[in-house]
Each structure stands twice: as structure tokens, then as C-alpha cells.
Amino acid sequence: MWAITLALVASAQAFEATAGCDGHLARAREAYERRNYEQARAGFSAALTACGLQPQILLALAQAQLLSRDVTAALITLDRLDKVGPSSVTAMKVRAKALYLASRDREAEETLLAAAGQAPGDAEIPYDLGRIYYQQQRHQDAQRAFRQAIAVDARAYKAWDNLGLVSEALGDSEGAARLYARAMAIAQTDAPAYDGVYANYADLLLKEGDHQRAFDAAAEAAQRNPRDARNFLLAGKALLKLKAVEVSVKWLSQAVALDPDLPEPHYLLARAYRQLGQAEQAQTAMTAFQQAASRAPTARR
């Protein structure tokens, strides 16, 4: 009788442990898909306790930590992952991103080159290398890396997009516009939520003085990704140029709400409020701009 009872208890405990593990993983993955990375990292941390030290959970936790901008925690988790077993190419790519965001560019580059040796058919690796080279203003190297990514995958829309950025940096605005158009055409079907190329194109159009089309592109970016302050900043800037000042305040205020540490929306809000004759709001926005500018890094990655 006791043996049967103990067996039933053990079976129930095992079932609860499995259910707890699966439940934490399901909730963490669902939060990750919703881009709620803080909730996702909490879920993956709980899953580690419930499921045990599993490499795939450690990797998912590191990715969630990285996307929630906790680079130090991501690197610590990746170190734990390395102790569990040999590093996978996916883990190497995540580590390279974390190293890059930690301004450890040389280590990030070495990690990606090692990953490329293991997975020469992975288009994301030369793309990530290109991002590092672009940040370092090594534009020719970046161009070669992005073209290599496209040679591996002709529909690598992010590589087309970033080739546009490189063309801009090299002074070829017409070429940049064509590359952005190529990236948008691919993203239209392959990545309906991808907003980066629309924001980059909006920025180019603003520089060229085509303010209405710049607003249209920025609004498309904001519709695709309403969580990125830059999309609302670009739309608000275009509206100011179009003299739609009251409407610009709404877009710029949303940019501030999404990223209070971004200085430019505060500055443009101060200008907009001055044009509207709202001196007190203008001064508040200018003070916020000065505070944000004092906190801002010299380069945003």
C-alpha cells in the first residue's frame, strides 16, 4: 500500500514539475513574441529553476536579456552556457551582439569570424560583421560584408537596407534610395513588421527636403513598429517642416514617452511649443532636452 502511495506521489510531483517547466517556457516564449523582453527574461529564469540547467533555455534567457538592454546579464548567462557544453553558432552570434553593445568591437568581430568558419552559409554572420564595420565607419568593409550576406541570401532585406546606409555614408543618395526600395519590396512580403528601412528612407528624404514623403515613410515605420521612438521622432520632424505644428506635438510627445533619454524629440517639442506660443511648455521641453543631452552617449548603438 505504502509503495503504491509513494509511487503515486512521485508521479504527481513529476507531473507538476513537467507542467511547471512547460508553463514557464510557454509564457516566456509568448512574452518574447510580444516583444515584452522583461517578462520573457523573468519567464526563462523561472523555467531554468523548473526545468533544470538546459542549454536552449540559457540561450533564450541571454537573448531576452540582450533585447531588454541588459548586456552585462546576457554575457554572464552566455558564460554559464559555455560551461554547459560547446558553444553553438547561434550562441556565438548572440555573444557577438552582446560584445558589440558592450563596445568590445574587436572581440565581437573575432567571435563572428569564428562563427563564419563554422557556418559559411549563414547570412546573418556577414550582416552582423557589416553592422560593426559601419559603426566603425569602415564603409568599404561594411559594403563588402553586406554584399556577402546578400550573396548567401538574396532576400536578406536587412542587408539591402544597410547597404543603403553605407551608400548614404559614401555620398550616393540615389543609390541609397534604390537600395532602400529593394529592401522595402522584400520586407513587404517577407517581414511585414520590419520598420528599419522605412525609418532610414524617411531620414534620407528629410535630408533631401522631401518632407511629405518623409512623413509618409516615417508613419509607415511607426505603424509597423509603434514601440520605436525614432519612428515618431522622424514623423514629428517632417510635420514641423510641413508647418503642421500642432500635429507634430502629438508625434514628438509619443517619441518622448517611448524614449525619454533621446534628446532630439525634447528639442523639437520646445521649438513646436514656441511656435504655438506656449512658453511654459517650451521651457519644460528645453529643460528636458538639456537633461537628456547630458545623459546621452556619444554614439547610440
Q: Does the pTM exceed 0.95? A: no
Q: Which fold has domain 195-301?
A: 1.25.40
Residue 91: closest CA among 116, 60, 64, 131: 60
Q: Which residues contact 29 (CB under 8 A, 6 or more apart)?
A: 40, 43, 60
The full set of domain ranges for the chain reads: 195-301
Asked if pLDDT for residue 11 goes beyond 60, the answer is: no
Which pLDDT value is given to residue 301? 60
State which amino acid sits at residue 14.
A
How many angstroms separate the CA atoms of 38 and 86, rounded?
Answer: 27
What would the DSSP string read from start to end of 98-134?
HHHHTT-HHHHHHHHHHHHHH-TT-THHHHHHHHHHH
pLDDT digits (tens, 9 = 90+) for 38-49: 999 999 999 999
Q: Which residues contact 272 (CB under 8 A, 6 or more apart)?
A: 236, 240, 245, 248, 249, 252
Asked if pLDDT for residue 17 goes beyond 80, the answer is: no
Task: Return the C-alpha cell found at 126.
Answer: 556577414
pLDDT digits (tens, 9 = 90+) for 146-179: 999 999 999 999 999 999 999 999 999 999 999 9
Asked if pLDDT for residue 19 goes beyond 70, the answer is: no
